[in-house]
Structure 1
Amino acid sequence: MSAPRISFEFFPPKTLDASFRLWETTRMLAPLRPDFVSVTYGAGGTTRQLTHEAVTTIGRSFGLNVAAHLTCVDASRAETLEIARAYAAAGVSEIVALRGDPPKGQGKFRPREDGFANALELIAALKDEGDFTLRVGAYPERHPESGDADADIAWLKRKFEAGADSAITQFFFEAETFLRFRDKAQKAGIDGDKILPGIIPIENWHGIRRFAQATGATVPGWMDDAFEKAARDGREQLLATALCTELCDGLLSEGVDALHFYTLNHAHLTRDVCYALGVKPAVALQNVA
């Protein structure tokens, strides 16, 4: 089995310490030569400028293909497209186009009267705006605001029809979750090869568990037991590496050839899993300025 294509997600730092951590994470993972790396956008557009700075700095300093997240939240259509034009001017040609989460405390997404109402409108406008590669979100389990899984598939198909080039899924813990979703998408006429599975290495089980509950991802009961036993023996990192590698192996054995890692700005576990999958550094990066 050949090594998979890989990509990574980072989030923009809000403190000096976080800036150093992102820099070190990028420095450690860049030699694995990912297809692209993406930089997230805070809820309510709270990290808009930080995202732009992180995107342009990573691209310039490490020579990576960087995809900038862009959402419909708390901005007019004109403001959103101006951000896209600024990315294009900086040489950024990939965008992860999302509706986005509502600002904290708002509860439900409410589009501005002069803003994009949903991801479909944003995708179509970006497609008209320029030569962007557009990636979108996908949900292997039901989106919290969706009626059912079939509605999620139908919505994803509309995203591709609007101009999306590929989709990145929410994370999941068992390979079968993604494979069932991919099969349903293919039956609906979506090219399964254009759907990238989102993989989250478990740096901290309790934190990831809370994250999963907030996003609607199913948490298998056996994982609670496994991490509880591992914690008693001080083997959490060994277990996390083994489980993530096993998950990826299960996907690769079923024809998946690309994996997208949610790094949470931690490099070691993601790097170790990539090594286990046969992804090796192409060349060490030195004297990065």
Structure 2
Amino acid sequence: MTLSLGQLEEARRALDAPLFADLAGDAQVSFEFFPPKSEKMEQTLWEAVQTLAPLGPRFVSVTYGAGGSTRERTHATVARIASETAIPAAAHLTCVDASKAEIAEVAEAYWQAGVRHIVALRGDPPRAGERFVPHPDGFSGASALVAGLKAVRPFEISVAAYPETHPEAVSAGSDLDNLKAKLDAGANRAITQFFFSPEAFFRFRDRAAAAGIDAEIVPGILPVSNVAQTRKFAAMCGAAIPDWMDRLFEGLDDHPAARQLVAATIASELCRKLYAGGVRHFHFYTLNRAELSYAICHLLGLRPDAPALTEKAA
């Protein structure tokens, strides 16, 4: 990666001064949640939304289970965010086990609920270990899904990118070709799967630019407080967990507060290095918890500047 003079000066300042001293607060953030399975989980989710809303996120997104298994809960969560807050809400949508007509119906329902942003994904098969097989009357993959959604309504669309290559990709080059096809089909930006090495993101960004991709690529950040759980996530998306991360969490199983501090330190350092390399947009995988993401945003210079929830006009 070739750094500009300004980026070199910023990188030098990051080394010479306290890491987070006097950052400009010019970063923008978005947050991802998953639909709650119970009333208690819904309360936890809504508390997280209330906590993070004052940071003025670009949007918040809500995930969608394999084969649409959380379709109703996803829709209810996104619709509530869209109707009860001032935050732009984005709904995940996959093409697993769904016909084109069914997807068009879901997309239209989102539009009628005031949702203007879709995170379009091919999706994982509903049963672990199986390979994706398109529905007989469905879309063949994410790029076709993007084109289909654009035919329904003029949605803003985000798609997934894989800095360390999708596990099913034939090669890193074919994975980039697939990303370019999704963007060429009408997607506005790509959000990456999580990673733990800033170099992995910078190398990917450079390869994408060399492949003719000029759309925004937003790094996905996963603050880790449970290494075993993160290892399961990483195996599904091809992310590498460095050995040093395992060592940092050793002996903390019975110390949840200490785990939180270590997790915040690791993720904030990653974000600071990305910031030094010119990144100004970050997407946080919150796991429906606000504390870690809020702390990292605070270190990046963001401060609350809006009410937690803004009632929409009747």
Q: TM-score, normalised by structure 2?
A: 0.87
The 3 A distance-change label for structure 1 pair 49 and 254 is: same
Q: For residues 108-132 of structure 1, what are the alpha-carbon distances to aligned partners after superposition, in whole Å with 9 as ceiling and x for unaligned?
A: 1111111111111111111222211
User: Secondary structure of 2:31's match?
Assistant: strand
* Alpha carbons 2:167, 2:236 under 8 Å: kept: no
Structure with higher RCO (Cα < 8 A, 6+ apart): 2
User: Secondary structure of 2:32's match?
Assistant: strand
Residue in 2 that maps onto 1:157? 180
1:11 to 16, 23, 34: 34
1:189-268 correspondence to structure 2 within 5 Å: 189-191=212-214, 194-228=216-250, 235-268=258-291
User: Secondary structure of 2:250's match?
Assistant: helix
TM-superposed CA distance for 1:105, in Å, is 4.7
**Following the alignment from structure 1 to structure 2, what is the Cα–Cα distance between the partners of residues 135 and 169?**
10
Counterpart AA for 2:48 = T
Counterpart AA for 1:267 = A
Counterpart AA for 2:182 = K
The 3 A distance-change label for structure 1 pair 286 and 97 is: closer
**Following the alignment from structure 2 to structure 1, what is the Cα–Cα distance between the partners of residues 84 and 60?**
13
Residue in 1 that maps onto 2:92? 69
Counterpart AA for 2:132 = F
1:141-180 correspondence to structure 2 within 5 Å: 141-180=164-203
Residue in 1 that maps onto 2:44? 21
* Alpha carbons 2:149, 2:155 under 8 Å: kept: yes
Among all aligned residue pairs of Structure 1 and Structure 2, give the percentage whose two residues are the same amino acid. Answer: 50
The 3 A distance-change label for structure 1 pair 238 and 83 is: same
Counterpart AA for 1:25 = A
TM-superposed CA distance for 1:211, in Å, is 1.8
Superposed CA RMSD in Å reads 1.8
**Following the alignment from structure 1 to structure 2, what is the Cα–Cα distance between the partners of residues 53 and 232?**
36
**Following the alignment from structure 1 to structure 2, what is the Cα–Cα distance between the partners of residues 50 and 240?**
29
Q: For residues 84-123 of structure 1, what are the alpha-carbon distances to aligned partners after superposition, in whole Å with 9 as ceiling and x for unaligned?
A: 1111111111000111111125711111111111111111
**Stretch deviating more after TM superposition (17-26 or 201-210):** 201-210
1:88 to 107, 111, 121: 111
* Alpha carbons 1:202, 1:240 under 8 Å: kept: yes
**Following the alignment from structure 1 to structure 2, what is the Cα–Cα distance between the partners of residues 286 and 163?**
32
Structure 1 gap segments, 5+ residues each: none
* Alpha carbons 1:7, 1:36 under 8 Å: kept: yes
Q: For residues 26-50 of structure 1, what are the alpha-carbon distances to aligned partners after superposition, in whole Å with 9 as ceiling and x for unaligned?
A: 1111111100000000011100111
Q: Which runs of 4+ in 1 moved over 3 A?
A: 229-234, 286-289
**Following the alignment from structure 1 to structure 2, what is the Cα–Cα distance between the partners of residues 287 and 118?**
37
Residue in 1 that maps onto 2:16? none
* Alpha carbons 1:197, 1:260 under 8 Å: kept: yes
1:99-138 correspondence to structure 2 within 5 Å: 99-105=122-128, 107-138=130-161
1:52 to 75, 79, 101: 75
**Following the alignment from structure 2 to structure 1, what is the Cα–Cα distance between the partners of residues 253 and 302?**
28
User: Secondary structure of 1:260's match?
Assistant: strand
TM-superposed CA distance for 1:216, in Å, is 1.8
**Following the alignment from structure 2 to structure 1, what is the Cα–Cα distance between the partners of residues 286 and 311?**
21
The answer to whether the aligner puts 1:188 opposite 2:211 as a matched pair is: yes
* Alpha carbons 2:52, 2:294 under 8 Å: kept: yes
Structure 2 gap segments, 5+ residues each: 1-22
TM-superposed CA distance for 1:279, in Å, is 1.0
* Alpha carbons 1:230, 1:239 under 8 Å: kept: no
